[in-house]
Amino acid sequence: MMRQRLVELDAVLAIARRRSFRAAALDLEMSTTALSNAVGKLERQLGVRLFNRTTRSVSLTDAGRDFVERIGPALQDIHDAMNAARSQQEIPSGTLRINAFATAAREILSPLILNFLKLYPQVNIDLVTEGRLVDVVAEGFDFGVRSRDLVPSDMIAVPLGPARRNVVVGSPAYFQTHGKPLVPPDLLHHACLRIRLPNGAPYRWQFEKNGQPAQIDVAGPITLDEASLSRIALLEGAGIGYVMESDVRDDLEAGQLEMVLEDWTPQLAPLALYYPGSRHPSAAFKAFIDLARRFSKESSGRK
């Protein structure tokens, strides 16, 4: 009975957080029908409607908003107590949820995440990639991965590897036909692959030399929001791109892409794994942090 009641309460909080029955069902690893039935049962027992539902949206009623505000802290204490008991296990297990932007995920997938799964086969990783900055606690994640300078000040951060940088690249065929830019303003006379930010705004390419910054609002035949798509377009000779060096390192070494304006692209802050302080971290949580710290030391030693 207690377990069933926790499912119902967790369902309410998940729907309130995600504002979607479908998204909440995915977070809780249950069917939308089961989730809806659990909430309906609780509403009948309480005698009030907790959510306003339409075919397009879900929102809390006034009663639902008051209910969520009251049960949230108490339910968190219950889960903390349960996690404290589970953390006594010797073998890490369960699911760890990680939020990262796509380039960061590609950088740590093989050396950190896949290596962790080999060491701890009873743990599952739920890796979500998105460009926007999220509140990892509010969104239900265990960890976030972002540039160190973007980590919230109230989080614990573990550096992951050395500094990174963006680079300006193009195919040998493109440069043979159109020439190479020598300074950032030259890009205004080239076909550039434009970048769309998560909020929909175009990204201005950032440069700096001798302490002098420059921003270029480039023009070009295509606007993209994913680095893997930019790489395909670059290899096809569609224009010049502004990408993370790690995304095209193999192509540069193979001579399929060439770098320009190298002295205008300074280093960026390294990546960092970050997480809130937890009084009762699970065995899987602690094991992942330990491996991340070892990965950080090893990658820093390879600089």
Q: What pLDDT, in 10s, does the model give residues 176-187?
A: 999 999 999 999
pLDDT at 1 over 50: no
**Number of residues that make up the chain:** 303
The end-to-end CA distance of the chain, in Å, is: 56
What pLDDT does 81 receive? 77
> CA-CA distance, 234 to 103, in Å (whole number)?
17
Mean pLDDT of 223-248: 91
Alpha helices in 29-171 (DSSP H): 32-46, 62-86, 102-108, 115-119
Nearest residue to 264 via CA among 189, 192, 169: 169
> CA-CA distance, 73 to 63, in Å (whole number)?
17
Nearest residue to 241 via CA among 107, 177, 226: 226
What pLDDT does 88 receive? 58
Least confident of 2-6, 114-118, 186-190, 199-203: 2-6
Percent of the chain predicted with pLDDT > 90: 44
What pLDDT does 75 receive? 86
What pLDDT does 185 receive? 94
What pLDDT does 97 receive? 94
pLDDT at 222 over 90: yes
Mean pLDDT of 8-32: 89
Domains of the chain: 2-86 (1.10.10.10), 94-163+269-301 (3.40.190.10), 166-264 (3.40.190.10)
pLDDT in tens, 88-139: 566 788 899 999 988 888 888 989 999 999 999 999 999 998 878 888 888 8
What pLDDT does 277 receive? 83
Q: Which residues pair with 258 in a beta bridge?
A: 170
